[in-house]
Amino acid sequence: MEITIKNLKDIKVVKLVGDVDASTAPSVQQQLVPLAELNSKILLDMTQVPYMSSAGLRMLLTLYRQTSAKDGKLVLVGLSEDLQDTMSVTGFLDFFTTGTTLEEGLAVLN
Amino acid sequence: METLIVPGTLDSLGAIGQYVTRATSAAGLDKKAAYKLRLAVDEIATNIITHGYQEAGLEGKLYLYAAIDESILTIFLEDTGIIYNPKQQILPQKEELQKVLDERSMGGLGIYLALGGVDEFHYERVGNRNRNIFVMHRIMV
């Protein structure tokens, strides 16, 4: 799992590359949760995440709660059809702001 | 296919995923069915590793075996941890899955995804082993 974090003006752009399962989700969570500061804008680019298990849902839930608690915004982009299916059957998808591309996500946050 | 034997630790999930992917390719499953089977095996393996081994203070291995016949692909996943029957775990109900995320508990979500993603799921206790059986149909019926 590779995680890169870049700042584009006031937006924290996080790119994940690799599978998010129970072995990788804890380190992703550990690196992402501190990004949720007061009013922070976080864009999570998951274009290169081919696989995500419920461990990834748990990570997303924690990140969602942290950003909401700090009045921040979280946008997910590039979710594959498979990831969307997993988030949909578990009732997660509707609660997240999502976009297809990075540009779309940035537009939502700007 | 050859049996895959890996340590019962979370580091083995990658190898387990690769094994299931090889099996679904060999069986010619479509992309969606292949993904769901990988997810199902990964979720149950994760539960075995965390509940069946780690939380019980036990160490052991996971044994995977794929069998392909003309109509089905079957994956057998065995371990020597504590008795653990995924079918007896409490699954989230519809009301829970509709709750706003702030009120969610995450319990049972992995097993919910696993059991809901395969065509058939069976559990057996054989000697000192738990045997989880995942079945996917190769031909649409």
Q: What is the mean pLDDT of residues B122-127?
A: 97
- Strands A73-77 and A41-48, bridge-based pairing: parallel
Q: Is residue A93 part of a domain?
A: yes
The yes or no reply on domain B4-137 and CATH 3.30.565.10 is yes
Decide if A58 and B49 are in contact by the 8 Å CB cutoff: no
Decide if A23 and B14 are in contact by the 8 Å CB cutoff: yes
Assign residue A81 the CATH number of its domain.
3.30.750.24
Reported as a single tens digit per residue, the pLDDT across B14-71 is 999 999 999 999 999 999 999 999 999 999 999 999 999 999 999 999 999 999 999 9
Reported as a single tens digit per residue, the pLDDT across A17-35 is 999 999 999 999 999 999 9
B11 contacts A22 by C-beta, under 8 angstroms? no
- Chain A nearest-CA residue for B110: A54
B66 contacts B1 by C-beta, under 8 angstroms? yes
- What CA–CA distance (Å, rounded) separates A98 from B90? 31
Radius of gyration (C-alpha) of chain A in whole angstroms: 12
- Strands B4-7 and B61-68, bridge-based pairing: antiparallel
Reported as a single tens digit per residue, the pLDDT across B66-99 is 999 999 999 999 999 999 999 998 888 888 898 8
Reported as a single tens digit per residue, the pLDDT across A65-85 is 999 999 999 999 999 999 999
Q: Is residue A23 part of a domain?
A: yes
Percent of chain A, pLDDT > 70? Answer: 100
How many domains does one find in chain A?
1
Nearest to A90 among B32, B49, B113 (CB): B113
Q: What is the mean pLDDT of residues A46-66?
A: 97
SS3 B81: coil
Q: Which pLDDT score, from 0 to 100, does residue B140 have? A: 57
Q: Where are the domains of chain B?
A: 4-137
User: How far does the CA of residue B107 sit from the closest CA of chain A (Å)?
Assistant: 10
Query: Is the Cα dihedral A84, A87, A91, A93 positive or negative?
Result: negative
Range of the domain at A73: 2-105
**Which H helix or E strand runs over B116?**
helix B109-117
- What CA–CA distance (Å, rounded) separates B115 from B134? 9
Amino acid, res. A50: P
